[in-house]
Amino acid sequence: MSDTTIPSVLFVCVHNAGRSQMAAAFLTHLAGDRVQVRSAGSAPADTVNPAVVEAMAEAGIDITAEVPKVLTVEAVQASDVVITMGCGDTCPVFPGKRYLDWELTDPAGQGVEAVRPIRDEIEKRIRGLVDEIVPAGQA
């Protein structure tokens, strides 16, 4: 199978420190090498939100090595599906891409108690996305 047959997904939020990191981690965890996963932020933070790291660890996913990345035009162009999470008009739009906007509470400045329901909602949406974009027979 060539890489061109593998769907690619880009998750974008402002700081790439919370929602997009959780979404990318869940998609990587659930789909493995059946999907190419990227995440980025329009104004990336210095580090991933510690409460997000803790909440993901509770779900059995280690994101301690992740770092926020800046959103590039190339990342958008290389993706089949672009899922935004509150980045507004800063996300570049290209013809032929599928765009989804997930309205999710921003976990910035919140404790792990507040992050858990956001994490759980993201996992639910990612499970639906995997069912939709991973070709049949690859599950």
**What are the phi and psi torsion angles at 34 (to 5°)?**
-85, -10
Residue 84 known to be catalytic: no
CA nearest to 17, candidates 74, 60, 58, 43: 43
Contacts of residue 61, defined as CB under 8 A and 6 or more positions apart, other chains included, come to: 25, 26, 29
- Which among 25, 37, 91, 133 is annotated as catalytic? 91
Contacts of residue 51, defined as CB under 8 A and 6 or more positions apart, other chains included, come to: 107, 110, 111, 112, 114, 115
- Which among 10, 12, 13, 129 is annotated as catalytic? 13
Residue 87 known to be catalytic: yes
- Which among 22, 63, 87, 104 is annotated as catalytic? 87
Q: Are the C-beta atoms of 104 and 56 separated by less than 8 Å?
A: no
Q: Are the C-beta atoms of 43 and 16 separated by less than 8 Å?
A: no
User: Which residue numbers are catalytic?
Assistant: 13, 87, 91
